[in-house]
């Protein structure tokens, strides 16, 4: 399987190169050259397949010959070593819980898969050079990457996070692991962290001394494996007669784009809803055909505070840039924090279910779609555990939530982070650590 750059100026590369490069040299996102439908009877016989089998069928063609089948099976098994329950709230609505992994957000799936792919590549190259993964985080990505890459041989991870701007749990998740994971606490904002990372990739003093790669959501090894749980939810749905709609709380649109890959592979889905907070670039685009990126605004569903969603270009590519074709399968709705809190309250009171702010936005999008499509049934993705957003959840539902034992343990652990003031300090750290 080869990947081409969506900027169409860089050469095509194999899966392995796409994973190691992260982004193409012309700054374009990688996209698979072909997407081949799975056999007709695959999706109708899912009940006979385990979650590992399903993931294998969905990802195999995208990996191609770069990873042998036995290793790919092992990578999938290790990646998916937790549950993906589908919780039914009503006749029409179910929640697909993606927060049962080690850092309690769906990003565990992509991060764990990518980490194991890189580890496999490092094991099987003759050069002894380590790969250094550099990643900036506003919260969830850092924890998922730290946990996913922990103890992977031949891979070093450097995470930059903005001091004082991530939650307690998030900070502990990325500063307490040690081993091959280093946290840099940057005096500044998430944008400052991202600027340092971008700078590093074009700094020859750094790139000539180490093999750098990025672990953000545009990497194909983080993006593509996410299609698995859409198919797994389809397996778990009891009634497959009614049209099925997925609502995905979206920020960079990688998760929903992976769901649309599952559809492209033949999964029967009638519609996808990208549910967003006040960062509404995509709903506006669908209304007036103009793509106008904006500076992001802060909301209570902060993992979706994105003003220029990087993966949307992949969704457009799936439809050859034809917006009217896209609109047949895809809608996007925006909701305010006030609406999100009201939804959290309503979900709790009416269904005795606790949603986090991201899941609640997903619920709202689904509800809106079902209003005009009463014959359909829907699944919204619950992308994070409500405990990650403890303050706003407790305040909204007026109820204390119990903190799981492993989180209590985590909070007690000692944070280890290297303070960084500016690019010069960062660079000095990188060069002395190589
Ligand atoms: C990252 C994240 C999202 C957004 O996912 P995208 O793939 O960027 O659209 C939604 N919810 C949570 C909890 C997240 O961490």
Each residue of 353-407: pLDDT tens digit? 999 999 999 999 999 999 999 999 999 999 999 999 999 999 999 999 988 888 8
CB of residue 254 inside a 6 A radius of ligand 1: yes
Which pLDDT score, from 0 to 100, does residue 202 have?
Answer: 85
Q: Is the per-residue pLDDT at 128 higher than 80? A: no
State the distance between the two ends of the chain, measured CA to CA, in whole angstroms: 33
Q: What is the mean pLDDT of residues 47-63?
A: 97
The alpha carbon of 434 and the centre of ligand 1 are apart by a number of angstroms equal to 32
Among 16, 51, 107, 235, the one annotated catalytic: 107
Least confident of 127-131, 176-180, 414-418: 127-131
What is the share, in percent, of the chain residues with pLDDT greater than 90?
81
Pick the closest to residue 186 from 430, 413, 425, 433 (CA basis): 425
Distance CA 307, CA 156 (A): 30
Strand partners, 94: 88, 379
pLDDT tens for residues 163-187?
Answer: 988 888 889 999 999 999 999 999 9
Phi first, then psi, for residue 220 (nearest 5°) are: -60, -30
Which pLDDT score, from 0 to 100, does residue 21 have?
Answer: 87
Torsion angle, CA of 42/69/180/226, rounded to 10 degrees?
Answer: -10
Using CA positions, which residue lies closest to atom 14 of ligand 1? Answer: 303
The alpha carbon of 433 and the centre of ligand 1 are apart by a number of angstroms equal to 32
CB of residue 107 inside a 6 A radius of ligand 1: yes
CB of residue 252 inside a 6 A radius of ligand 1: yes
Active site residue 156: no
Mean pLDDT across the chain: 94
Least confident of 210-219, 249-258, 422-431: 210-219
Pick the closest to residue 102 from 120, 86, 83 (CA basis): 83
Q: Is the per-residue pLDDT at 54 higher than 80? A: yes
CB of residue 255 inside a 6 A radius of ligand 1: yes
Residue in the structure block whose two tokens are 């750098």: 212
Q: Is the per-residue pLDDT at 126 higher than 70? A: no
> Please, which pLDDT band fits residue 201 given cuts at 50, 70 and 90?
confident
């Amino acid at each position: 399987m080869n990947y081409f750059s969506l900027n169409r100026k860089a050469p095509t590369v194999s899966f392995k190169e796409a994973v190691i490069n992260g982004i193409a040299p012309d700054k374009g996102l990688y996209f698979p050259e072909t997407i081949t439908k799975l056999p007709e009877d695959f999706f109708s016989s899912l009940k006979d397949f385990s979650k590992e089998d399903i993931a294998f069928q969905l990802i195999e063609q995208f990996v191609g010959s770069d990873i042998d089948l036995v290793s790919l099976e092992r990578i999938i098994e290790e990646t998916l070593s937790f549950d993906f329950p589908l919780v039914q709230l009503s006749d029409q609505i179910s929640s697909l819980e993606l927060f049962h992994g080690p850092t309690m957000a769906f990003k565990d799936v992509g991060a764990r898969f990518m980490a194991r792919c890189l580890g496999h590549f490092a094991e099987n190259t003759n050069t002894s050079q380590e790969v250094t993964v550099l990643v900036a985080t506003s919260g969830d990505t850092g924890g998922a990457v730290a946990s996913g890459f922990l103890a992977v041989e031949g891979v070093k991870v450097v995470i930059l996070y903005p001091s004082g701007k991530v939650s307690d749990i998030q900070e502990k998740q990325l500063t307490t692991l040690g081993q091959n994971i280093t946290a840099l606490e940057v005096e500044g904002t998430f944008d400052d962290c991202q600027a340092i990372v971008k700078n590093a990739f074009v700094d020859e003093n750094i790139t000539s001394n180490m093999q750098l790669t990025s672990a953000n959501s545009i990497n194909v090894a983080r993006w593509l494996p996410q299609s698995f749980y859409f198919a797994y939810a389809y397996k778990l749905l009891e009634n497959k007669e009614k049209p099925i709609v997925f609502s995905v709380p979206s920020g960079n649109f990688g998760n929903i784009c992976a769901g649309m890959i599952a559809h492209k592979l033949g999964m029967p889905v009638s519609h996808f809803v990208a549910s967003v907070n006040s960062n509404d670039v995509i709903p506006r685009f669908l209304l007036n055909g103009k793509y106008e990126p904006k500076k992001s605004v802060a909301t209570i569903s902060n993992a979706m505070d994105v003003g220029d969603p990087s993966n949307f270009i992949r969704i457009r590519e799936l439809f050859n840039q034809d917006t009217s074709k896209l609109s047949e399968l895809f809608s996007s709705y925006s909701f305010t924090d006030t609406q999100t809190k009201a939804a959290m309250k309503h979900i709790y009171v009416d269904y005795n279910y606790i949603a986090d702010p991201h899941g609640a936005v997903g619920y709202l999008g689904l509800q809106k779609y079902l209003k005009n499509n009463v014959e359909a049934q829907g699944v919204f993705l619950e992308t994070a555990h409500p405990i990650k957003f403890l303050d706003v959840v407790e305040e909204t539902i007026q109820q204390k939530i119990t903190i799981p034992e492993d989180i209590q343990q985590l909070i007690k652990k000692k944070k280890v982070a290297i303070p960084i003031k500016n690019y010069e300090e960062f660079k000095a750290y990188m060069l002395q650590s190589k």
